[in-house]
Structure 1
Amino acid sequence: MTAGPGPDDAARLVTEAPKDTGYGRSPYERDRARVLHSAAFRRLAAKTQVHTAGTDDFLRTRLTHSLEVAQIAREMGARLGCDPDVVDTAGLAHDLGHPPFGHNGEDALDALAADCGGFEGNAQTLRVLTRLEAKVLAPDGGSAGLNLTRASLDAVAKYPWERRPGRRKFGVYADDRPVFAWLREGAPPGDRRCLEAQVMDWADDVAYSVHDVEDGIHGGYVTLRPLLVDADERRALCADVAAEYSGEAPEDLGEVLAELLADPVLAPLAAYDGSHRALAALKTTTSVLTGRFVSTVVAATQERHGPGPHRRYAADLVVPRRIRAQCALLKGIALRYVMRRPGIGPRYAQQREILADLVAALLDRAPDVLDPVFAPLWRAAPDDAARLRVVVDQVASLTDPAALAWHGRLVAGR
Structure 2
Amino acid sequence: MLKPYACDPAASRGRLHSESISTFRSPFQRDRDRIIHSSAFRRLKHKTQVFVEHEGDYYRTRLTHTIEVAQVARTIAGVLGLNTDLAEAVALAHDLGHPPFGHTGEDALALLMAPYGGFDHNAQAIRIVTRLERHYAGFDGLNLTWETLEGIAKHNGPVIGGAGAHSVPDRAHLPYALAECDAEWDLELTTNASAEAQVAAVADDVAYNHHDLHDGLRAGLFTEADLMELPLVGPAFAEVDRLYPGLDATRRRHESLRRVFGVMVEDVIAVAENRLAALGPSSVDDIRAMEGTIIRFSKPLYQNLKAIKSFLFTRMYRAPTVVAERERVTAMINALFPLFLAQPELLPEDWQGDVAKADSETALARVVLDYVAGMTDRFAIQEFGRLVG
Kept after mapping to 2: 8 A contact 1:81/1:310 = no
**Cα distance between partner residues in 1 of 2:263 and 2:184:** 37
1:357 pairs with 2:357 = no
2:347 maps to which residue? Answer: 370
1:169 maps to which residue? Answer: 166
Residues 1:357 and 1:323: Cα distance change in structure 2 (over 3 Å)? same
**Cα distance between partner residues in 1 of 2:283 and 2:208:** 24
**Cα distance between partner residues in 2 of 1:320 and 1:63:** 28
Kept after mapping to 2: 8 A contact 1:2/1:314 = no
1:156 maps to which residue? Answer: 152
Deviation at 1:38, TM superposition (A): 1.1
Residues 1:292 and 1:122: Cα distance change in structure 2 (over 3 Å)? same
Runs of 4+ that moved beyond 4 A: 159-168, 181-185, 226-229, 266-269, 307-311
Kept after mapping to 2: 8 A contact 1:151/1:183 = no
**Cα distance between partner residues in 2 of 1:262 and 1:75:** 26
> What do you get for the CA RMSD once the two structures are aligned?
2.9
1:131-156 Cα offsets, whole Å, 9 max, x none, are: 11123355xxxx53111111111222
1:399 maps to which residue? Answer: 376
Gaps of 5+ in 2: 169-173, 288-293
Give the secondary structure class of the aligned counterpart of 1:306. Answer: helix
2:131 maps to which residue? Answer: 131
1:347 pairs with 2:325 = yes
**Cα distance between partner residues in 1 of 2:162 and 2:281:** 37
Kept after mapping to 2: 8 A contact 1:66/1:92 = yes
Residues 1:405 and 1:261: Cα distance change in structure 2 (over 3 Å)? closer
**Cα distance between partner residues in 2 of 1:149 and 1:31:** 7
- Kindly provide the amino acid, as one letter, of the partner of residue 5 in structure 1: D
1:75 pairs with 2:75 = yes
1:2 pairs with 2:4 = yes
1:327-376 Cα offsets, whole Å, 9 max, x none, are: 3333333322122112433322221111011111111221x222344322
1:319 pairs with 2:290 = no
Deviation at 1:196, TM superposition (A): 1.6
Give the secondary structure class of the aligned counterpart of 1:54. Answer: helix
1:283 pairs with 2:254 = yes
Deviation at 1:393, TM superposition (A): 0.9
Give the secondary structure class of the aligned counterpart of 1:344. Answer: helix
**Cα distance between partner residues in 2 of 1:151 and 1:309:** 18
Residues 1:340 and 1:34: Cα distance change in structure 2 (over 3 Å)? same
Residues 1:146 and 1:403: Cα distance change in structure 2 (over 3 Å)? same
**Cα distance between partner residues in 2 of 1:378 and 1:228:** 54
2:190 maps to which residue? Answer: 190
1:338 pairs with 2:316 = yes
- Kindly provide the amino acid, as one letter, of the partner of residue 305 in structure 1: L
**Cα distance between partner residues in 2 of 1:89 and 1:170:** 22
Residues 1:301 and 1:379: Cα distance change in structure 2 (over 3 Å)? same
1:166-217 Cα offsets, whole Å, 9 max, x none, are: 97525962254242356655x5x72422212211111001101111101111
Kept after mapping to 1: 8 A contact 2:47/2:62 = yes
- Kindly provide the amino acid, as one letter, of the partner of residue 149 in structure 1: T
- Kindly provide the amino acid, as one letter, of the partner of residue 55 in structure 1: E
**Cα distance between partner residues in 2 of 1:340 and 1:88:** 32
Kept after mapping to 2: 8 A contact 1:69/1:200 = yes
Q: TM-score, normalised by structure 1?
A: 0.80
Alignment of 1:10-409 (within 5 A): 10-19=13-22, 24-136=24-136, 143-157=139-153, 158-159=155-156, 168-170=165-167, 173-180=175-182, 184-185=186-187, 187=188, 190-226=190-226, 257=230, 259-260=231-232, 262-265=234-237, 277-306=248-277, 312-315=284-287, 316-366=294-344, 368-409=345-386
Deviation at 1:267, TM superposition (A): 6.7
Residues 1:288 and 1:311: Cα distance change in structure 2 (over 3 Å)? farther
Residues 1:344 and 1:59: Cα distance change in structure 2 (over 3 Å)? closer
Residues 1:409 and 1:151: Cα distance change in structure 2 (over 3 Å)? same
